[in-house]
Amino acid sequence: MTKLLIIGQERAQLLANGRARATAQPFDPLPVVRLFTPDAHATWLLAALNPADGDTAWGIMDVGIGMPELGEIKLSDLASIVGPNKQPVMRDEYFKAVRPLSEYLRLAQENGSILD
């Protein structure tokens, strides 16, 4: 099920970002993928994937309680989440990042949720 959340080129870019994030250099990439629950108000903007395990993603987590934050989550955990109407986490096939992750985080924290 994890493969449906992150596919092909997205996975390759997330892993490349994960390798870059592991260096001590400043790192503020564009988010690669937007995941969401269609029947709840949770959204994840993921920017990197840990190449050591291929499962730990890093990005902005907005679980719908007005407190989006930067952190890590396992794709395997996301794949097991379902909303109140039993709908699973889905990938936004039309998402294209327009700003770096830090700007998405700033705006999300100002507004209490990820806006786009």
Q: What are phi and psi of 33, to 5 degrees?
A: -140, 145
Percent pLDDT > 70 in the chain is: 97
Please state the domain count of the chain: 1
Query: For residue 47, what are the domain limits?
Result: 2-111
What is this structure's pTM?
A: 0.90
**Domain presence at residue 116:** no
Place of tokens 């830090």: 102
Q: What is the pLDDT of residue 11?
A: 94
Condensed to tens digits (0 to 9), the pLDDT of residues 37-90 reads 988 889 999 999 999 999 999 999 998 888 999 999 999 999 888 888 988 999
Q: What is the pLDDT of residue 2?
A: 41
Q: Is the dihedral of CA 77, 78, 79, 81 positive or negative?
A: positive
